[in-house]
Amino acid sequence: MAEHRSMQRAALLDAARSLLSEGGTEALTFPALAERTGLARSSVYEYFRSRAAVVEALCEADFPVWAAEVEAAMADAEGPEGRIEAYVRKQLELVGDRRHRAVVAISASELDAGAREKIRAAHGGLVAMIVEALAGLGHAEPRLTAMLLQGVVDAAVRRVELGAAEHPDVIVRAAVSLALDGVRG
């Protein structure tokens, strides 16, 4: 029974990822989740009390995986500047990934305070990785610089997501260049 419940929960989360990546937060509704999974709408409520609860569960499942990929890319890079470049590049490379699209849609949505706090905490872990690289470059304000750098990444992610006029490679190059020129000061 527990295994069956866990499979249904996983199916619901997978359906939520698809809905978010296809249509953003507006597409994530309980009727749509029920339709995608073949469950009754009342069954969806047995797993999640609200959309925010679905989003929170997605964050708990997906953000660590996404962050681990960024962390691995940084670990493979040479020196602080290489780690900063890997940090920017990997996040932009993951834009097409459904898990990432779901996380982006989630970040943009109206969430309850608990879900927002969990996202902030997870994001904080990502930012902490870059603080160390910035400290290695001798930055006086590595934490502030890391947050601003993440702002550049977030803006580039949105630009790619929106299907901006520029090719994604151009956006990646511009973001990396801005990040590296900025951290060199």
User: Which residue ranges of the chain lie beneath pLDDT 50?
Assistant: none
Query: Which pLDDT does position 9 carry in this prediction?
Result: 92
pTM (predicted TM-score) = 0.75
Tokens representing 21?
Answer: 């990546």
Query: Which pLDDT does position 76 carry in this prediction?
Result: 95
Query: Which pLDDT does position 128 carry in this prediction?
Result: 82
Query: Which pLDDT does position 108 carry in this prediction?
Result: 56
| C-alpha–C-alpha distance, residues 75 and 33, integer Å | 38
Query: Which pLDDT does position 44 carry in this prediction?
Result: 93
Please write down the long-range contacts of 177-180, taking CB distance under 8 Å and 24 or more positions apart: 178/152, 179/84, 179/85, 179/87, 179/88, 179/149, 179/152, 179/153, 180/81, 180/84, 180/85
Residues in the chain: 185
Query: Which pLDDT does position 176 carry in this prediction?
Result: 93
DSSP run (H or E) holding 76: helix 51-76
Distances (CA, A) of 118 to 106, 112, 125: 12, 10, 11
